[in-house]
Amino acid sequence: MEKLGTILVVDDTQQNVQVLSQMLRDAGYAVMASFNGQDAINILERRTPDLILMDVMMPEMDGFVATRHIKSNPDYALIPIIFLSALSDTESKLRAFESGGVDYITKPFQQQEVLARIALHLSLRKLQQEKEQYIGQLKEKQLHLEKLNKEKDEVLSVLSHDMRNPLGGIIGIVDLLKSEPIDSQEELFSMLELIDVSANRLLSMVNDMLDIAIIETSTAKLVRTQVSIPTLIDDVVSMHAPAAKNKGISIQTKADEKLPMIQADQSKIAQVFGNLISNAIKFTPTGGAVRIGVEVNDEYPGYLVCTVSDTGIGIPDDILPVLFDKMGNHQRQGTQGEVGTGLGMPIVKRYIEVHDGVIDVATEEGKGTVFTILLPLNI
């Protein structure tokens, strides 16, 4: 039978301890016994009961003194203590409550009364613990919401500042087109290209904001399908090939033959590799290389091992520890002045985690960076 709780009986009369112990065991409680106040305090250092039945008149240390000692220790202060004594005068009862007791029963006692009061105070203590736990959870949620609020304000502050430049550029070009005649098709094409670049920059910021909102609200739900990661990477690479070509950067892919398909959300995994490949191109100077590999190896059984490496400028020591934080102050320009929101890496990490995967990074300034992703083969 599951025990209702553990009761510490403190009484200097062995017969009283035996009678109380048997009564409590019959009612379904586990019992510990002590024959004086100091011994009771020593017992608490080894094991904590749910409630204490305390006699008053005991040698060495009486029940009042023992209770004050127990209540002065924050580790035991919340244990309910019921006095069970032959002293029936009002002064003794007042001293019992002043020392920290929650109830007082006079001897000779009625068995049903003792059990009823024990059950009551254990129930009250349980309610108190649940209340404290609930308050603790509310405080944690409040702190979490305050943190998210602060991060949201910081993200909006960064993005609103960054949005001014492309918006200002678009408005300026439109005003120019409206106010002055265009001399040639080449000039018109150049202006439209600037508008296109600025508009795509703004779209990228909006997409990052939406993805961060998904992360914060934990609504990153997956639509799993059978996905060939090598095929997906080939598609992503083709999208970024023009940017790499413009910078004179080579992109190389290598995949083991006959790799198994995995159950994954294709769009989110594509976004992961898109961010990593885009960053690799951004932080690699002209003449460098980006390499993407996919394999299964014995070092990580049960996982598809994917790497995205570059020969770029690496990640500075002050940025590396906060690389995956939403507000880690890791926004920086690429090797040709390319800019970003700094929100891509937190999104990458979140999307890997919701796939029960792992992402790790190794970097050396001036030599390059390697991102390693582990995706479960059997999800």
pLDDT value for 215: 60
Side-chain-facing half-sphere of 344: CA atoms under 13 Å = 22
Same domain, 174 and 264: no
The domain boundary, picked from 93, 109, 125, lies at 109
- Domain final residue pick, 182, 216, 250: 216
Asked if residue 316 and residue 369 are part of one domain, the reply reads yes
- Please give the pLDDT value at position 1: 53
On whether both 329 and 231 belong to a single domain, the answer is: yes
Q: What is the rounded average pLDDT for all residues in the chain? A: 85
- Give residue 49's pLDDT: 94
- pLDDT band at 372; cut points 50, 70, 90: very high
Is 176 in the same domain as 69? no
Is residue 321, in this structure, part of any structural domain at all? yes
The whole-number average pLDDT for the span 365-379 is 89
- Among 216, 246, 278, where does a domain finish? 216
Q: Is 117 a domain residue?
A: no
Looking at per-residue confidence, does 212 or 52 come out higher?
52
Asked whether residue 119 is assigned to any structural domain, the reply reads no
Q: Is the pLDDT of residue 44 over 80?
A: yes
CATH number at residue 344: 3.30.565.10
**pLDDT of res. 375:** 94
**pLDDT band at 173; cut points 50, 70, 90:** confident
186, 291: one domain:
no
Residue 209 has pLDDT above 90, yes or no: no
The per-residue pLDDT for 242 is: 84
Which has the minimum average pLDDT: 91-95, 162-166, 280-284? 162-166
pLDDT band at 216 (very low <50, low <70, confident <90, very high): low
279-294 pLDDT, tens digit per residue, is: 899 999 999 999 999 9
Q: Give domain status of residue 122, yes or no.
A: no
Determine the pLDDT at residue 294. 94
Portion of the chain with pLDDT greater than 90, in percent: 44
Question: What pLDDT, on the 0 to 100 scale, is given for residue 350?
Answer: 85
Quote the pLDDT of residue 134.
92
pLDDT over 80 (residue 69): yes
Residues 31 and 99 in one domain: yes
- Same-domain status, 93 and 208: no
Domains in the chain: how many in total?
3
pLDDT at 32: 93
The predicted pLDDT at position 291 comes to 96
Question: 10 lies in which domain range?
Answer: 6-109
Please say if the pLDDT value at position 211 is more than 70: no
pLDDT for residue 288 = 93
Q: Are residues 297 and 351 in the same domain?
A: yes
Do 345 and 267 belong to one domain? yes
**Residue 139: inside a domain, yes or no?**
no
Is the domain of 245 the same as that of 291? yes
Quote the CA–CA distance of 181 and 176 in Å, as a whole number.
Answer: 9
Q: Which residue has the tokens 């090939």?
A: 241
Query: Cis omega (within 30 of 0) on the bond before 316?
Result: no
Strands 368-376 and 303-310: antiparallel
The answer to whether 37 and 58 have CB atoms below 8 angstroms apart is: yes
Q: Is 157 inside any structural domain?
A: yes
Mean pLDDT, residues 340-354 taken together: 78
Within-domain flag for 334 = yes
> Which of 90-94, 296-300, 339-343 is the least confident region?
339-343
Q: Check pLDDT > 90 for residue 203.
A: no
Report how far apart, in Å, the C-alpha atoms of 302 and of each of 268, 293, 357, 374, 377 are: 21, 17, 11, 9, 6
Q: Residue 174: give its domain's CATH number.
A: 1.10.287.130
Any domain includes 136: no
pLDDT in tens, 315-329: 988 888 888 876 555
pLDDT at position 97, please? 93
CB 302 within 8 A of CB 376: yes
Q: pLDDT grade, residue 267 (50/70/90)?
A: confident
Q: What is the arithmetic mean of pLDDT over 188-217?
A: 72
- So what's the pLDDT on residue 268? 86
- 204 with 238, same domain? no
Q: Are residues 279 and 356 in the same domain?
A: yes
362 pLDDT higher than 90: yes
CATH number of the domain to which 85 belongs? 3.40.50.2300
Q: Is the pLDDT of residue 79 over 90?
A: yes
pLDDT in tens, 217-249: 555 577 889 999 999 999 999 888 888 898 999
- Nearest-CA neighbor of 55 among 4, 3, 109? 109
